[in-house]
Every structure is written in C-alpha cells, then in structure tokens.
Amino acid sequence: MLLTAGIGDAKHLEKATEIAHGFGAFVRSLVGLDRAAVAEAFSGFVAGSGVTADQIEFIDMVIEHLTEKGAMDPGLLYESPFIDVAPEGPQQVFDFEKTKKLVEVIRGLNESAAG
C-alpha cells in the first residue's frame, strides 16, 4: 500500500522496518495508538479512591506519549517530561508493585505491535 502510494521504495521501507524492529512497530510509529485503547490499558492506575493528582498527571503523560508515538521505552519514565512530575521516576508517585505493573503494561503495548 505504501509502495503503491509512492511513499518511498522497497529499500526505504525495508530499512524503516529494520530500524523500528518490525513492520507493525514501523506502522505504529507513523500512526500512534488509539487513545481509548491506551487509556483502557492504564485504567487500573487511576481507578478507585486515593489516587493523587501526580499519579493522574503521570499516567496521562504516558498515555499521551503512547498515543502520539505508538510505543515507549520504559527508560523514558526517568526523563523529561516525566521527571517534571516525579523527579525520581515513577516510584516517586507509585509503590513498587504499581511501578512494576506500569512497566509491564508499557512493554505489553510495545510487544503488541509485533503481533
């Protein structure tokens, strides 16, 4: 479809697919992810009472990144803009188990592009 539309040639698409670690990841990097699907994946993080404004803001930033970029290196949680909310990383706003689950959800969304 991309070739038919005149967007690059086979060599360019092959290189882009290689850089993105798969064709699905390449396409997702172009179109991002559906906001509702990403929000659903993280719904457990902001459900219930006792959720703080920082937790909501942090998850919203993760959702925004995934919606726009389609994937996310969990290491980015320790970089800007995330450290603007939690300078020490996600463990500053979530306990250990929630932080671990956060990374698992991100990795799961990343891996779903390959399938």
Token pair 């990374």: residue: 103
pLDDT tens column, 46-61: 877 789 999 999 999 9
| pTM for this predicted structure | 0.74
pLDDT tens column, 67-79: 888 889 999 999 9
Domain parsing of the chain, residue ranges: 1-31, 32-112
Give dist(CA 34, CA 113) in Å, integer.
Answer: 13
Report how far apart the first and last C-alpha atoms of the chain are (Å, whole number). 19
- The CA distances from residue 39 to 31, 62, 63, 92, in Å, are 17, 9, 6, 21
Give dist(CA 83, CA 21) in Å, integer.
Answer: 27
